[in-house]
Amino acid sequence: MTEKPVYILAHHVVTPLADGTAENLDAMAAGKTAVFPNRQQLFQDQGICGALFSPQQRDTLSGRFGSEWTAFEILMLHSLRKLLLSVPHIRMDDPSTLLVLASTKGNIGDLQEGSARAAEQAGLHRSVQKIAADLGYHSRPVLVSNACISGMTALLVAKRFLDAGRYKHAVVVGADCISPFIMAGFRSFQALSDEECKPFDCDRKGLNLGEGAGGMVLSTEPPSESNSGSTQPILLSGGASSNDANHISGPSRTGAEMAYAIRLAMKQAKTNPADIGFIAAHGTATPYNDEMESKAFTLAALDQVPAFSLKAVFGHTLGAAGLIESAIGLEAMERGWILPSRGYSNHGVSSSVRISVRLEKEQDLKHFIKTGSGFGGCNAALVFSKTN
Identify the sign of the CA torsion 154, 156, 161, 162.
positive
Interatomic CA distance for residues 308 and 328, integer angstroms: 12
Answer for the pair 102, 319: CB distance below 8 angstroms, yes or no: yes
pLDDT digits (tens, 9 = 90+) for 303-335: 999 999 999 999 999 999 999 999 999 999 999
Answer for the pair 13, 24: CB distance below 8 angstroms, yes or no: yes
User: Taking residues 223-231, what's their average pLDDT?
Assistant: 64
Q: Which of 344, 167, 377 lies closest to 260, judged by CA?
A: 377
Structure confidence at residue 113 (pLDDT): 66
Q: Which of 246, 226, 277, 183 lies closest to 378, judged by CA?
A: 246
Angle at 268 between CA 263 and CA 274, to 5 degrees: 55
Give residue 44's pLDDT band: very low, low, confident or very high (50, 70, 90): confident
Structure confidence at residue 341 (pLDDT): 98
User: Taking residues 111-132, what's their average pLDDT?
Assistant: 82
Secondary structure (3-state) at 278: strand
Answer for the pair 365, 306: CB distance below 8 angstroms, yes or no: no
pLDDT digits (tens, 9 = 90+) for 75-85: 999 999 999 99
Longest pairwise C-alpha distance within the chain: 58
How far is residue 376 from each of residues 21, 177, 242, 379, measured CA to CA in Å? 30, 21, 11, 9
Interatomic CA distance for residues 317 and 176, integer angstroms: 6
Interatomic CA distance for residues 9 and 88, integer angstroms: 11
pLDDT digits (tens, 9 = 90+) for 158-198: 999 999 999 999 999 999 999 999 999 999 989 999 999 99
Q: Which residues contact 321 (CB under 8 A, 6 or more apart)?
A: 148, 151, 174, 282, 314, 372
Show the DSSP H helices in 175-238 as ranges: 180-188, 225-228
Structure confidence at residue 174 (pLDDT): 98
pLDDT digits (tens, 9 = 90+) for 80-118: 999 999 999 999 999 999 999 999 999 988 887 666 667
Strand positions, DSSP E, the chain: 7-14, 36-43, 46-50, 97-102, 142-144, 169-176, 212-219, 234-243, 276-280, 307-308, 367-374, 378-386
Q: Which residues contact 168 (CB under 8 A, 6 or more apart)?
A: 96, 97, 162, 219, 220, 221
How far is residue 138 from each of residues 131, 162, 235, 356, measured CA to CA in Å? 12, 17, 26, 44
Residue ranges of domains in the chain, CATH in brackets: 7-219 (3.40.47.10), 234-386 (3.40.47.10)
